[in-house]
Structure 1
Amino acid sequence: MKRKIMLLDFGRESKRMRHLLVTGRTFALLSFCSMVFFVMLGIAGMAHQQTTASPVNSMKGFAAAVSSGFFGDMLEMEMPAFQSSRETESFTTKQISSLLMRALTDINPNDPMSLLAGELPGLSANDAFLIRKGIGTDTAVGPEDNAPITYDPIGGLDEGDGTEVSNDGSNPDKDPDQTPVPSDKPAETDDSGNDPGDKGEEEKPTTGGSKVVFVYHSHNRESWYPELTDKSKDPNSSTKNITLVGKRLAEKLEENGVGAQHSDTDYPTAIKNYRWELSYKYSMKTIKEAIASSKDLKFFFDLHRDSQKRKYTTIDINGKSYAQVYFIIGHKNPNWEKNEAFATKIHEALDQKYPGISRGIWGKTAASGNAEYNQSLAEDNVLIEVGGVDNTLAESYRTADALAEVISDIYWEEEKASASKGKAS
């Protein structure tokens, strides 16, 4: 009898132990699931923060990274009547994995240097992110903004007085794939190559004495190898540089009736103890002074010369070579979307009239550049890289003419829309 009672007690204890084990497993499972939930919630928050901060992780960055054929297939799935004429390109597992990795960690699996870029300033200086494609844009080739080796505040980097220009077609880069550098000298009357047609006696619109466009240069000494006497150094010049292209743009805008103001301030001589890395601080003062002196200013353009080689910065249109352009948007500016919308207007207009001249709109975060570029001072403010180190002044002039044409059209369209809206109200 006693043995039966002991066995009965043992059975009760075993049952209790099994119940405790089941309860423990349930608790452990619930704890693990809760931990996973909060970890995933944290990752989602990080991904959201990255998405709102960087164009490469936004839907625009995603859209720019995949082919039009991919979106055509998506539309065909939802709209049976729609037939895409674009060739289908597969969206590989590697692309998906790379996109997720960049979204969560800001590390590019295809670029090992990105592992160090976040910790060592300067390594990611050229890591621009494509926001919007240009026609035929190679998404693997973005703009480069390289600092000069040295800066001599007296004479720049070119030797001599800077007035002698080499147009012998020589090219310091020995890449056999590069197209030859043209030998034509830029003339003040050189047009963009397009026949404007007979406009009759119709009077052109004009802003009168009002200046509505401001053109300036944060890196005012950026020049081109073919235009310098000494091609062994960085292409920078105190006399023959990107300010000439800015002047050309302003003059062409004026010819189109759009009042334009141009700043050719030479910061290395104007600023005591000049430091190249503070360039945008110096140009910010220039912009603020311009705004204070003219309340009519609406459009702002910071013109640069990019550091990419000729094969990435040149296109032939109607038998004439043009310097291609990159549009740069700083994502440290909280209202960068508005600046990007302005750049998009110009980019799309260029694509219509000069297909291929725009290499797209690119964004930069604080990890890959200044990230602000004074664009918070005005919504219609954009940085434009015109050509590269191997382009010529003649090619850059043609591009300035093209920019002036589309910018003028955009300005007058906006003025017309504003006037119509005023009448309606």
Structure 2
Amino acid sequence: MSHKYRHIKRSSYTFYKRSGVYLVSIVGLFLLIGALTTIQPAYRISSETITKWTSDIDGSVFLHLIGMENRAVTQGLPEENQLPSVSSTFLQVATSIKPNDPRSLLGNEIPGFTIYDNQVLIAGEGTDYTNLPIESSPPLEEVLRDREAVVETEEDEEVEKDENMPTTGERDVVYIYNSHNRESFLPHLPDVTNPDLAHHDEVNITKVSKRLEKSLEAKGIGTQVEDTDIGNLLKEKGWEYHQSYDAAREVVKEAFSSNLDIQFAFDIHRDAIPREHTTKEIDGTSFAKIMFVVGEDNPNYEKNLKLATELQYLFDEKYPGLSRGVLPQGGAGYNGVYNQDLSENGLLIEFGGVGNNLDELYRTADIVAEVFSEYYWDAESVEAYTEEE
């Protein structure tokens, strides 16, 4: 009898103990929610802060947590992909250091090492972490400095029009602009050897934009090229070169408001890495490589990424090796927007590099127009068919 009494007493004690813990937990949860919802906005934990905390946690952790309720979620994970320990996850959140990735530690200690912490979504031929795009940021006075330039290429060369192509008529559906409009090329600047100083007021990336315009028009795609000198605009505003995207933003917004037909917006740049990484030889002829850069920190990221991915696959099919791939960029140290929040079909495209010449760039512009026109008219055909249905 006494044994049975002790058992009942022990069970009752356990029940009351657990009930007490549950009750205290619920009360504590309500108090925490009350505190978070009543404190002044300046002291609240923002969603951005939570995003930063959780961005360093491996995505598989969340899959494992969901899998605790629905085991079907974790069935597709590799066997070696196990739920990380609590201490490992806490270390990542507290320090941004990932135990199995030395880049997360070395990137903060070794100058220049952070460039290896990028994610290349689609790597083209020869693309790796050592030759990703480099965006130089020289003093504005160097960008605006007068320099001698030599050009032997015929800039007014006509592009043969394809009479069999459909046309957008009077509508300009593609908008091309250059946030770094004075980016130039060493082969055309005889007195310049430093890539960071390769800038010119006339012989620059805008010539590539104009060639791309001609090539797209020849494929029946109406195109508008922005002629605003962003470099001069920075000077007028008293801004620095790293604010080029901010200066270009108002120009791009004005273009969209004045032309409601714009469907695609391409910000054309040239890379600052050496020529050997930005040149492709096809049948004995050299071409400037391209690369698609997509800003991750804007609401149109997924749609813009879809466009870049589809174009990349077309390039891989028709001209293997000409495109270096698709590079998403965002987070600390990157613009992450590139004004791509203004369009659901907005891309930053790197055309060649500082060591390419205009002949190579013009050839590539013609190919980009060819590939894009195939993409555009295929999409138009699908849309027309859908409307008929």
- Kept in 1, the 8 Å contact 2:233–2:247? The answer is no
Q: 316, 334, 338: which one pairs with 1:373?
A: 338
- Kept in 1, the 8 Å contact 2:279–2:356? The answer is yes
1:209 paired with 2:170, answer: yes
Measured at CA, do residues 270 and 415 of structure 1 come closer, stay the same or move farther in structure 2, by a change above 3 Å? same
Q: Look at both structures and tell me which one has the larger radius of gyration over its CA atoms.
A: 1
Measured at CA, do residues 297 and 356 of structure 1 come closer, stay the same or move farther in structure 2, by a change above 3 Å? same
* Cα offsets for 1:113-156 (capped at 9, x unmatched): 52259xx9x985785421122234324431111112x2238x82
1:247 paired with 2:213, answer: no
1:379 aligned counterpart, secondary structure: coil
Measured at CA, do residues 265 and 216 of structure 1 come closer, stay the same or move farther in structure 2, by a change above 3 Å? same
- Kept in 2, the 8 Å contact 1:214–1:262? The answer is yes
- Kept in 1, the 8 Å contact 2:96–2:104? The answer is no
Task: Give the drift of 1:322.
Answer: 1.4
* Cα offsets for 1:81-106 (capped at 9, x unmatched): xxxxxxxxxxx99xx9xxx9998665
Q: Which residue of 1 aligns with 2:200?
A: 237
Task: State the alpha-carbon separation in 2 of the partners of residues 113 and 216 from structure 1.
Answer: 37
Q: 150, 153, 175: which one pairs with 1:164?
A: 150
- One-letter amino acid of the structure 2 residue matched with residue 391 of structure 1: N
Q: Which residue of 2 aligns with 1:5?
A: none
* Cα offsets for 1:365-404 (capped at 9, x unmatched): 1313111011111110000111111111111111111111
Q: Which residue of 1 aligns with 2:387?
A: 422
1:109 paired with 2:98, answer: no
- One-letter amino acid of the structure 1 residue matched with residue 374 of structure 2: D
* Cα offsets for 1:330-358 (capped at 9, x unmatched): 11102311110011121111111110111
Task: State the alpha-carbon separation in 1 of the partners of residues 229 and 266 from structure 2.
Answer: 17
- Kept in 2, the 8 Å contact 1:53–1:365? The answer is no
Q: Which residue of 1 aligns with 2:189?
A: 228
Q: Counterparts of 1:248-397 in structure 2 under 5 Å?
A: 248-271=211-234, 272=236, 273-397=238-362
Measured at CA, do residues 244 and 137 of structure 1 come closer, stay the same or move farther in structure 2, by a change above 3 Å? same
Task: State the alpha-carbon separation in 2 of the partners of residues 305 and 217 from structure 1.
Answer: 10
* Cα offsets for 1:305-335 (capped at 9, x unmatched): 1111112211111211111112111111023
Q: Counterparts of 1:157-196 in structure 2 under 5 Å?
A: 157-159=145-147, 162-165=148-151, 185-188=152-155
Which structure 1 residue ranges, 5 or more long, are not aligned? 1-14, 35-44, 60-77, 79-91, 166-184
1:147 paired with 2:137, answer: yes
- Kept in 2, the 8 Å contact 1:315–1:321? The answer is yes
Measured at CA, do residues 114 and 190 of structure 1 come closer, stay the same or move farther in structure 2, by a change above 3 Å? farther
Measured at CA, do residues 103 and 365 of structure 1 come closer, stay the same or move farther in structure 2, by a change above 3 Å? farther
Task: State the alpha-carbon separation in 1 of the partners of residues 91 and 117 from structure 2.
Answer: 13
Task: State the alpha-carbon separation in 1 of the partners of residues 53 and 347 from structure 2.
Answer: 22
2:103 aligned counterpart, secondary structure: coil
Q: Which residue of 1 aligns with 2:122?
A: 132
* Cα offsets for 1:163-215 (capped at 9, x unmatched): 434xxxxxxxxxxxxxxxxxxx54458899xxx9xx8xx73201111100000
Task: State the alpha-carbon separation in 2 of the partners of residues 227 and 143 from structure 1.
Answer: 21
- Kept in 2, the 8 Å contact 1:315–1:323? The answer is yes
Task: State the alpha-carbon separation in 2 of the partners of residues 406 and 101 from structure 1.
Answer: 47
Task: State the alpha-carbon separation in 1 of the partners of residues 134 and 208 from structure 2.
Answer: 19
Task: Give the drift of 1:157.
Answer: 3.7
Measured at CA, do residues 240 and 125 of structure 1 come closer, stay the same or move farther in structure 2, by a change above 3 Å? farther
* Cα offsets for 1:264-312 (capped at 9, x unmatched): 3212223412421211111111111111111110011000011111122
Q: Which residue of 2 aligns with 1:85?
A: none
2:140 aligned counterpart, secondary structure: coil
Q: Which residue of 1 aligns with 2:44?
A: none
TM-score (norm 1): 0.66
Task: State the alpha-carbon separation in 2 of the partners of residues 254 and 103 from structure 1.
Answer: 51
Q: 362, 376, 379: which one pairs with 1:411?
A: 376
Measured at CA, do residues 351 and 392 of structure 1 come closer, stay the same or move farther in structure 2, by a change above 3 Å? same
2:377 aligned counterpart, secondary structure: helix
2:350 aligned counterpart, secondary structure: strand
Structural RMSD (CA): 4.4
Measured at CA, do residues 106 and 158 of structure 1 come closer, stay the same or move farther in structure 2, by a change above 3 Å? farther
Which structure 2 residue ranges, 5 or more long, are not aligned? 1-5, 26-46, 61-75
